[in-house]
Chain A
């Protein structure tokens, strides 16, 4: 058996991130604490370099390499670009927060870069093996990131829960993969797809495998009833890590669902369609209802994430190209809003003070009218107020499922969005109409952070007015 060297050109961005992550790990050891910004700079540089490489080699047509385990296509490249962007913004927002807490260490960036690598592999996975590889690489990085503040009991508890439950979910996913392999004799998604098309859903092993796969994916996405880790982890982790977990990994999770369910098991659409209906309806209902009762804003946003995941699943379960485009649009917009919302939380925190409760937002308008305005835009967009991008995202998703005749599900989504508007608006009410509990001094931000958060908040407005700009990009990504 001859070994033929695979084509390394398509995986250049991954190779760069891998090399740089290792390099940062080594360099960081030799740096003094005051030189730590070099680590930060290198991490950002890595992301920029990867983005440039991805742009230069942007896929015109799908290419598989690494013996069929890896695929480079437009959807993957597009999602990767958004992953780099989201991660870069996350690094930027959390820099000052980490400094104030003595957490400004190399680990955050090394683990962050490895997480990005994991996401890239997930996005470009073309076999169940690489799916699992990427997923575990990301998950292990996240487990460790949650507990970066290792003296914090809350963080340790959260990390422990995350790790145990994550292992359980990984186990289920692996079990599902083994069943699929048993039924089809391959892990290559193309081969699996062909085999499934022949066997159909009469094969009970296939359906069992599908259920286990869906459970594993649902855990990663945080869909009800596999969501319970999410509020605890969001609340327990340092806000900088919550910011990381809540943003780019959602893009990767979306890609994962697309790769496995749509590309690999598309022939079983009737089956996963029903499962996703249950999962999404439960997620939308429970996420919105539970968020109502929260006083901790990170926890509230965690439940809000669950409800947004429900919406994302709506787009996918419609099973049409418009539905996939709508879901991808929704994911990107959700990441934009989540980064902004957690970004504002992180900026309100100071040394020795965590802005975690909704009450901490009281009177924000007096302290920093601009931040309050940006937060208001983001909250309203999350609630789906018209002419902000969140509204359009919800609209295209609902349109997609109405087109396949699921009007009742659309109505359910709308109904719970209305209920959900309450807790978003409560934040706005706190910022504008309540007096602060302790007199907070005005918020000072570094220049680059301020520009980024302004751009982030304004993008919510601008994309709301010109949603087609982003929608066209998304459609072009899904076309080939």
Chain B
């Protein structure tokens, strides 16, 4: 199997290298063929792995491929840990990636950076696969930074746009903050366990549960809590949790396929995956779990609110992504790791679908993204309309759709949990269901129904997008509808993740869920009468009323609640705070350091001063070398005499 695993990571890398270095030679078609083939091979091999580990229940594979170096007993290696958790992740990643690759042919059709784009997304796939297949923290960090780098490159893909450069820098810097915590976390693991191999660390973790360390002298902190919170800070950066979420909405400056692949379906879920992978550590720290739970529920609710007032089609979905990532984090916080992974998977499909659908709309609208200039699109682009509707239904959690199963499981899991903060979290995620439903249907109604508000020219040219765009939509629509019903039982209640995820008995909320679970169909039927579905319907109804029946009302509400609207429109002032405090602060610090420390002390005194001194000494020594024989002989005699007196007078 090791060759299969290697093939999975190397095939996209090969495609990326060919498309990146020889893009000009192989041309546009060559670039998309080679990368698509690479990702397709990875996908097919992932299916093999999925069958091997999930269907046939093979033992987890944990092996080293290459030892980079050994430093004082710490082995730095490239290795794979492949179990059912990994298998689910790689299948999801490669499938969505493949869809996005195909879709890109249509979306980027007229772009000059065609080959570069394919190189980047294939490279991203490689880095993401390295991340999820890693068996040690170093490789995890490699993949982590790799996806971060490609994300940066792709947000700033249109590097001539001022806003794109700003957004890419912002994403990079905010992720630095998270990565700082993450690196400290890895360092803490290394310090405590003297190993960066998952297997060693997880095996030793229970023995460390009661250890404490003193970071501030005199204050004892639980080692596990420190490690877990530091690692989670990394996850907060990558998975855009409050307060490190600010980069994700801006990342929509990148091309839409990227928003679908990186900033919705895969990369942003890396943090979720990481926490699930680290479950043997997180389980040992109730404090860290509570922290995770509270951060997740704040993100889930408050980022959903912001989705309501956005007018950019991609930004609405971006805030929806933030909110859904919050849901996954909540699931992690209540130790329902498998539910988080379950939601991660279903979300990957329907959110990619929604983004690609939005991209399809954007193509048809000639790159117009403002939903106020759309409307009534359903009759012009039926496939996009229908798949988008399916995606919306899945997102809001309509019983029977994929999103329903995962979201309802999260709600139930929080309900049964007794972790501190669970009460607040339950309230937040329940209210979040209404909010989700409201902004999702608002978007749907404004874009696809109601009055046609686009200009005449655009309206004349409106038509359905080409097959390379619609086929991925249809292929993604299928799992968005059915994947939940098909996989809920093995993923949540079977023993699929028994060897990958570790849950302490006292936190095991899934046991409670299992008692009430009688098959996927009855779960859905039961959902029809549940509170969440009522909230969904309430969201649907109120958005229908506000945006279809009385389109004048939202404007009036906005005026009445202008203060609230203003705060939300400025995204709770996070950006302002960061810019005025951190950005301006670090810039003035930098300026001061540059002027006084660098230009004054280092350049003036140290660099130029030393150079002057060295030059002076050198010219003096040059004078000593007179060229006369007697000087040379004299120098030798003097040297001899000095050495002699040294030893005689000693």
Chain A residue nearest to B638 (CB atoms) is A225
Docked Cα-Cα span, A290 to B644, in Å, equals: 26
- Could you tell me how many residues of chain A have their Cβ less than 8 Å away from some Cβ of chain B? 32
Chain B 604-646 interface residues, beta-carbon cutoff 8 Å to A:
614-615, 617-619, 621-622, 625, 627, 629, 631-633, 635-636, 638-640, 643-644, 646
Which residues of chain A are within 8 angstroms of B627 by Cβ–Cβ distance?
232
Q: Cβ of A225 and Cβ of B619 under 8 Å apart?
A: no
Closest beta carbon of chain A to B607's beta carbon, Å: 12
Which residues of chain B are within 8 angstroms of A108 by Cβ–Cβ distance?
none
Closest beta carbon of chain A to B116's beta carbon, Å: 28
Q: Cβ of A228 and Cβ of B632 under 8 Å apart?
A: yes
Q: Could you say which of A214, A215, A229, A293 contacts B632, with CB atoms under 8 Å apart?
A: A229
Q: Cβ of B622 and Cβ of A169 under 8 Å apart?
A: no
Given contacts A207-B647, A208-B644, A289-B618, whether A165 and B639 have CB atoms under 8 Å apart is no
Which residues of chain B are within 8 angstroms of A231 by Cβ–Cβ distance?
625
Q: Cβ of B614 and Cβ of A290 under 8 Å apart?
A: no
Q: Mark A172-214, 1 if CB is under 8 A from B, else 0.
A: 1000000000000000000000000000000010011001101
Docked Cα-Cα span, A272 to B629, in Å, equals: 28
Q: Could you say which of B633, B635, B636, B647 contacts A211, with CB atoms under 8 Å apart?
A: B647
A161 at the interface (CB under 8 A from B): yes
A7 at the interface (CB under 8 A from B): no
A219 at the interface (CB under 8 A from B): yes
Which residues of chain A are within 8 angstroms of B644 by Cβ–Cβ distance?
208, 211
Q: Cβ of B618 and Cβ of A160 under 8 Å apart?
A: no
Q: Cβ of B632 and Cβ of A165 under 8 Å apart?
A: yes
- Determine which residue in A208, A211, A274 has the highest number of CB atoms from chain B within 10 A of its CB, and name it: A211
Q: Cβ of B621 and Cβ of A225 under 8 Å apart?
A: no
Q: Cβ of B618 and Cβ of A225 under 8 Å apart?
A: no
Q: State the main secondary structure of chain B at its contact with A.
A: helix
Q: Cβ of A164 and Cβ of B636 under 8 Å apart?
A: no
Q: Mark B88-102, 1 if CB is under 8 A from A, else 0.
A: 000000000000000
Q: Cβ of B633 and Cβ of A168 under 8 Å apart?
A: yes
Q: How large is the interface on B (under 10, 10 to 19, 20 to 34, 35 or more residues)?
A: 20 to 34
A419 at the interface (CB under 8 A from B): yes
Given contacts A161-B632, A229-B632, whether A419 and B643 have CB atoms under 8 Å apart is no
Given contacts A212-B640, A290-B618, A293-B618, whether A160 and B647 have CB atoms under 8 Å apart is no
A292 at the interface (CB under 8 A from B): yes
Docked Cα-Cα span, A161 to B635, in Å, equals: 14
Chain A residue nearest to B645 (CB atoms) is A211
Docked Cα-Cα span, A211 to B646, in Å, equals: 10
Which residues of chain B are within 8 angstroms of A290 by Cβ–Cβ distance?
618, 621-622, 625
Given contacts A165-B629, A214-B643, whether A219 and B636 have CB atoms under 8 Å apart is yes
Q: Cβ of B635 and Cβ of A228 under 8 Å apart?
A: yes
Q: Could you say which of B618, B621, B638, B640 contacts A172, with CB atoms under 8 Å apart?
A: B640
Q: Could you say which of B617, B622, B633, B639 contacts A215, with CB atoms under 8 Å apart?
A: B639
Chain A residue nearest to B614 (CB atoms) is A419
A358 at the interface (CB under 8 A from B): no
A478 at the interface (CB under 8 A from B): no
Q: Could you say which of A160, A211, A226, A286 contacts B629, with CB atoms under 8 Å apart?
A: A160
Closest beta carbon of chain A to B294's beta carbon, Å: 47
Q: Cβ of B618 and Cβ of A292 under 8 Å apart?
A: yes
Docked Cα-Cα span, A214 to B639, in Å, equals: 11
- Determine which residue in A168, A271, A289 has the highest number of CB atoms from chain B within 10 A of its CB, and name it: A289
Q: Mark A270-311, 1 if CB is under 8 A from B, else 0.
A: 010011001000000010011011000000000000000000
Docked Cα-Cα span, A290 to B618, in Å, equals: 5
Closest beta carbon of chain B to A145's beta carbon, Å: 20
Q: Cβ of B617 and Cβ of A289 under 8 Å apart?
A: yes
Which residues of chain B are within 8 angstroms of A172 by Cβ–Cβ distance?
640
Q: Could you say which of B615, B633, B643, B647 contacts A292, with CB atoms under 8 Å apart?
A: B615
Docked Cα-Cα span, A208 to B650, in Å, equals: 13
Chain A residue nearest to B622 (CB atoms) is A293
Docked Cα-Cα span, A156 to B48, in Å, equals: 81
Closest beta carbon of chain B to A223's beta carbon, Å: 9
Given contacts A161-B632, A165-B629, A165-B632, whether A226 and B621 have CB atoms under 8 Å apart is no
Closest beta carbon of chain B to A168's beta carbon, Å: 6
Closest beta carbon of chain B to A51's beta carbon, Å: 36
Closest beta carbon of chain A to B609's beta carbon, Å: 13
Contacts A172-B640, A226-B635 aside, 15 further interface pairs with beta carbons under 8 A come to A161-B629, A161-B632, A164-B633, A165-B629, A168-B633, A168-B636, A204-B648, A211-B643, A215-B636, A232-B627, A275-B643, A289-B617, A292-B614, A293-B615, A293-B621
* B residues apposed to A, CB below 8 Å: 614-615, 617-619, 621-622, 625, 627, 629, 631-633, 635-636, 638-640, 643-644, 646-648
Can you list 14 A-B contacts (CB < 8 A)?
A161-B629, A161-B632, A164-B633, A168-B633, A208-B647, A219-B636, A225-B635, A228-B625, A228-B632, A228-B636, A290-B621, A290-B622, A292-B614, A419-B614
* A residues apposed to B, CB below 8 Å: 160-161, 164-165, 168-169, 172, 204, 207-208, 211-212, 214-215, 218-219, 225-226, 228-229, 231-232, 271, 274-275, 278, 286, 289-290, 292-293, 419
Closest 9 A/B residue pairs (Cβ): A225-B639, A228-B632, A289-B618, A293-B618, A292-B618, A290-B621, A225-B635, A211-B643, A215-B640
